[in-house]
Chains A and B, each alone.
Chain A
Amino acid sequence: MSHNILVKGLRFAYPPLEAGGPTQWVIDGLDLSARAGEWLAVMGASDAGKTTLCLLLAGLAPHLTGGTMEGQVVVAGRDTREYPPPGLAASAGLLFQEPEAQLFNADAEAEVAWGLENLGLPAAEIQDRVDAALAQFRLEHVRHRPPDQLSGGEKKRLALASVLAMQPPVIILDEPMGGLDPAGREEVLAALATLRRDRSATILMTESDPEAVSAFADRLVVLERPARQPVDSARGQAIALEGTPREVFQHLEQLADLGVSAPQLARVAATLNRRLGTQFDFLTIDEAVPALAVHLG
């Protein structure tokens, strides 16, 4: 089976803050792969290198950030070392954590069109893709509104629409739920649900929200807390846990040690299992209600 994302023996260190300063691995020994149409979630503590992984997959690191890289990252069949970032734009789309830096055009329509214009597509095709992306993320009503006048949820949806309009085979989402209020979170969850139904691209999502991970991901990888080893050290092991979200969220104590939250309902199930000797393994409210109803008779 073909892999749209293939990461082998990856190690990465940013340049030292001052010349001659210590250089430490931010990612140390990562092996990862994702098939076409698969949704892979990556969790980890706040300094586990999740955003760095996104930059590496999009080819932005080390080309634009500088730093030391070992191993191999292949995205949609292209080795990121051999393709500078503009060349990878059609292969991998990246949704940044902060939409502010990603939305720089005069209005929503121009925002979605900008990347397509860079790809040199004909105007008619650009128009079709812009219309489709705005409709898919329910943004037609803000078509001519400046991005800085949109709500947090609308900004994330617009950034997502801008990435998806380019139709890359690999989509990288860096903390799509980050910094959103409850209304914005619901909007983005609905937008992600449309992606989930589509299933045409490989999606890698870093996320701290375990509910979002259990709702969408086929597979979950939890990164180790970074040991910050010097660059001349032996290769480490970046992945602490791997499996389906249901499998990974069974390891509540290990997740806590790794600085990763589990879904609230997974913790409820574990507590009930411990105290009542039950065998619950629900992660979502939709799973919990019937399971508890059966138990309570």
Chain B
Amino acid sequence: MTSQRLDLYVTRDTWLHRLDPRVKTWAVLLAGIVGLAYKHLLVLAGLLLLTHLALLLARVPGERVRWLWRGLAPVLLLILILQPLFAPGPGPDLLRLGPVRLTQSGILEGVSFALRAAALAFVVALLLATTQPTALVQGLVRVGLPYAWGLTIGLAIRYLPTTYGLFVTVREAQEARGWIVSRGNFVKRARAHVPVLVATIIASLRLSDSLGLALAARGLGYPARRTTLHHLHFGAMDWIVTALVTAVLGGLIVLRFVMGLGGRAW
């Protein structure tokens, strides 16, 4: 079931799922600022750990978390390898091969960047795993985003698995007719994927065309004030979590920008 693998929302009834989407979006915004502003390994590792704790509390299956780690692994590996090589930073050389230098600060920066990428990815994954796209859109619209923009974000999330499913279907159909895309080195495989991508893009364009017609047929833009079936309710738990998140993450942001802490990896 390829379509389910990219569908990040996990149907559960935990307090994290029940939180108002505006609280979660606010938390993601603050966590994103912390993740981007800080280089310090402890802060970034702490953010990553906190996110995993939240995923555990949200009862997101371990397989889903491992799947995300597997998807991120090549990117993180590239960061870990390339960052120290291309930006070795100050300090004595640990290794020197011609123009290539390897330093402790370069390695720590690489680890910091990789941790940052992982932390940010899991922060967004946590939001998507615990928030229905419809609720997310509703939350964004309630804080002032035009409905069409919110709908666009919701549709992008909704059709991610469908587009991936299309890609897999096209690849399997072409492989069944002898077009092998999974053999050879990286460049060869990348080239073999070009016809698969072209067919996927064409199919996606057709789907988006039909989607536009379907949205209009169901009254998007109908001359009436749009209502909603379920109203968002900001309860006591929402206020508590908002206060807690603002105090902790907001405090970290203040420490970074006012006191200048955490600007270095170590």
Interface residues of B (CB under 8 A from A): 1, 3-4, 7, 9, 11, 132-135, 154-155, 158-159, 161-162, 207, 210-231
Contact = CB atoms under 8 A, between A and B. Distances in A.
A148 B212 CA distance: 18
A94 to B, nearest CB: 5
A242 to B, nearest CB: 27
Contact of A120 (B3, B133, B134, B225): B225
A101 to B, nearest CB: 4
A65 B209 CA distance: 9
Interface stretch (A13-21, A107-115, A223-231): A107-115
Given A115-B218, A118-B221, A120-B222, 16 more contacts: A58-B217, A64-B216, A89-B217, A90-B222, A96-B217, A98-B210, A104-B158, A104-B159, A105-B133, A107-B134, A110-B134, A117-B226, A117-B229, A119-B222, A123-B231, A144-B11
Contacts of B213: 55, 60, 64-65, 96, 101
Contacts of B9: 106, 146
A86 interface: yes
Contacts of A65: 213
A64 B212 contact: yes
Given A96-B213, A148-B3, A166-B218, A122 B162 contact: no
Given A96-B213, A104-B214, A107-B132, A89 B219 contact: yes
Interface in A103-155: 104-107, 109-110, 113-123, 126-127, 130, 144, 146, 148-149
Contact of B207 (A58, A85, A93, A101): A101
A117 to B, nearest CB: 5
A78 to B, nearest CB: 13
A102 interface: yes
Contacts of A93: 217
A118 B226 contact: yes
Contacts of B217: 58, 60, 85, 89, 93-94, 96
Contacts of B230: 123
A100 interface: yes
B227 A117 contact: yes
Contacts of A122: 227
A162 interface: yes
Nearest to A147: B158
Contact of A121 (B207, B211, B214, B227): B227
Given A118-B220, A166-B218, A106 B158 contact: yes
Contact of A110 (B162, B219, B229, B231): B229
Contacts of B216: 60, 64, 85-86, 89
A106 B132 contact: yes
Contact of A118 (B3, B4, B159, B218): B218
Nearest to A101: B210
Given A60-B216, A60-B217, A64-B213, A104 B155 contact: yes
A295 to B, nearest CB: 48
Contact of A101 (B134, B214, B229): B214
A144 B11 CA distance: 9
A107 B134 CA distance: 9
A113 B222 contact: no
A87 interface: yes
Nearest to B212: A64
Interface string A70-91: 0000000000000001110110
